[in-house]
Structure 1
Amino acid sequence: MNLVRAELFKVRTTSLWWVMGLILVPLYAASLLFNWATASAGSPPPDSGVSDSQQAQFDAVMQPINVATNLYTSGQFMGVLIVLLLCAIIVTSEFFHLTATTTFLVTPRREAVILAKFGAAVVIGLVVWALTTLLNLIFVPLILNSLDYGSQLGEPAVWRAIGLNALAFVLWAVLGVGAGVLIRSQIAATLTLAILYTVGTSAVGLIFFLLTEHVAKWFENLQVLIPTTASQLMISGTELPANPPRWVGAAVLIGYALLAGGLGTWITKNRDIS
């Protein structure tokens, strides 16, 4: 615990955490407004030209419980990006400020240091989740009441989605530390992760769409291998048509986190730090 507190102290003594916090607030607001606008728009009419499977997906997403779970988890997409970057910087800042050698001299067991960084990352992920969830619990009931859906807080699926959203933030935090171990440059890690998360997600999604349309329909189910898609799938209120079960999204994200955590620990233990 002392090592975890030390890692959190390093984060608190820099301006980085509140800069990220200031960035998160407008991004959260934009996410909430976008989800509200999507819920208000509703499903396209049957004669809009979409396929039957797409229409079924739209209709399922617009069910009150799915609208509610989407709104109560608003801020996940950009929130986990902030967590990803912050947790990568937990590692890269050691090399940026040339404190890595000192850290490992003070605590020679390198695996203890990296586990402390994972612990600090989990705390950061949960703090950001708690902040966005608190804001959602304040504003979303007002939005749902304006849509005549009621608050939906009596539905177990809503609380399950909120809980799984916490798991998603934790898993992305672990991914951030693992990425920081692989990319030791602070600037390179920040730029690479931000670009891969935003542009890369859209690019890979487009590739899967083209494969689905022009090669085989089963490629559509493989989109769950995209980490952001897995995150969204695991917090849906109900099983969605033409999508894998929610547990598949959770399993994919857990797999990425275990791989990043194991690889990060092994590399830190065996790689030359100086």
Structure 2
Amino acid sequence: MTRDRSSLANSTRSELTKQFTTSMWWILGLVLFVYVGLTAGGLAATFGALASGALPPGAANSPALPADTLPPLIYSIATAVGYVFPLLIGTLMVTNEFRHRTLTPTFLATPRRGVVLAGKVAAGVVMGAFYAVLAIIAAVGVGAAALAAFDIHTQLGSADTWALIGRMVIAFVLWVLIGIGVGTLVRNQVAAVVGVLAFTQFVEPILRAVGGFVDGLSEVTQYLPGAASDALVGASIYTGIGGATTSGPAWWVGGLLMLAYALVFLLLGWLLTWRRDVS
């Protein structure tokens, strides 16, 4: 048991070293921070101006959102638009090994492949938490400042707000684990990345949009990964703007759904590809 723990600790440390010795980690972190910050700031300023009356109601095509609903919607931008980043990070953690053929020496150093995969999962938890902090600082920091500029209460003293922030951290971690599962299952990096981008940016958004107009379809689309993430966090700019009336799963159900996605992908990857020979 002690040896297994030591091997897992060494594997986790090795994985983290791999992540932080290349430029990819800070490039993705910088893009995530800027993207989330600009989106949160822009939307907070727009909705805050409408809610406070700084902009006339006729300046928008829809009624202004109530001021007390704005903080959670703005803060949740960290996951609502930023979730693709932890998903890509998890995918790259594995596919980079296949692309650059570094998995062979990894397996030679740690022959037990289950320990290697567990090390990646453990490192993924750390990476997910790290990028969650970046995204939350961007969304909450910039978003709250923009709301405060229009005298909108930021709700940063509310326990509900901090519970939402905590759930966003969990969502980021789970997205990284889902990405590791995808990367384990799909060895080809180009195919994995294109598949992730296609599903998150086109397939699921289209299905969820159509589900808002087709009776019964929303009962299915609410269990898609992105919808499960929104349910876990408890707020989403997309459902908030769309005025969705269909109640989704409880936050803990959303969390369990995301965990199930991660476990299924990891298990399939372990059974179908991870144990195969590598060159």
User: What is the TM-score when the length of structure 1 is the normalising length?
Assistant: 0.82
Give the alignment partner of residue 62 of structure 1, picking from 60, 63, 66. 66
Kept in 1, the 8 Å contact 2:19–2:25? The answer is: yes
Kept in 2, the 8 Å contact 1:89–1:180? The answer is: yes
Question: In the alignment, does 2:20 pair up with 1:12?
Answer: yes
Shift of 1:243: 1.6
Kept in 2, the 8 Å contact 1:31–1:75? The answer is: no
Measured in 2, the distance between the counterparts of 1:146 and 1:33 equals 11
Q: Deviations over 1:70-117 (max 9, x none)?
A: 222332234321111121111111111112122112211111000111
Give the alignment partner of residue 253 of structure 1, picking from 254, 258, 269. 258
Give the alignment partner of residue 186 of structure 1, picking from 184, 189, 200. 189
Question: In the alignment, does 2:117 pair up with 1:120?
Answer: no
What residue number does 2:6 align with?
none
Kept in 2, the 8 Å contact 1:80–1:172? The answer is: yes
Kept in 1, the 8 Å contact 2:212–2:218? The answer is: yes
Give the alignment partner of residue 242 of structure 1, picking from 239, 242, 246. 246
Measured in 2, the distance between the counterparts of 1:151 and 1:206 equals 29
Give the alignment partner of residue 135 of structure 1, picking from 134, 138, 147. 138
Give the alignment partner of residue 228 of structure 1, picking from 223, 226, 229. 226
What residue number does 1:55 align with?
none
Question: In the alignment, does 2:43 pair up with 1:35?
Answer: yes
SS in 1 for 2:77: coil
Kept in 1, the 8 Å contact 2:48–2:152? The answer is: no
Q: Kindly, what percent of the aligned residue pairs are identical?
A: 30
Letter of the 2:112 partner, please give it.
Answer: R
Q: Decide whether aligned partners of structure 1 residues 109 and 30 sit closer, same or farther in structure 2, where only a CA change above 3 A counts.
A: same
What residue number does 2:269 align with?
264
Letter of the 1:242 partner, please give it.
Answer: T
Q: Deviations over 1:183-237 (max 9, x none)?
A: 1112222222112111122222234234x2xxx3x33233212211221222236
Q: Decide whether aligned partners of structure 1 residues 35 and 228 sit closer, same or farther in structure 2, where only a CA change above 3 A counts.
A: farther
Aligned length: 258
Measured in 2, the distance between the counterparts of 1:122 and 1:141 equals 27
SS in 2 for 1:225: coil
Measured in 1, the distance between the counterparts of 2:203 and 2:115 equals 33
Measured in 1, the distance between the counterparts of 2:81 and 2:208 equals 17
Shift of 1:12: 1.6
Q: Decide whether aligned partners of structure 1 residues 209 and 233 sit closer, same or farther in structure 2, where only a CA change above 3 A counts.
A: same
Shift of 1:254: 2.2
Shift of 1:173: 0.5
Q: How does 1:163-182 map to 2 (within 5 A)?
A: 163-182=166-185
Q: Decide whether aligned partners of structure 1 residues 118 and 222 sit closer, same or farther in structure 2, where only a CA change above 3 A counts.
A: same
Kept in 2, the 8 Å contact 1:174–1:260? The answer is: no
What residue number does 1:54 align with?
none
Superposition misfits of 4+ residues, deviation over 6 angstroms: none
Kept in 2, the 8 Å contact 1:153–1:159? The answer is: yes
Give the alignment partner of residue 101 of structure 1, picking from 104, 107, 110. 104
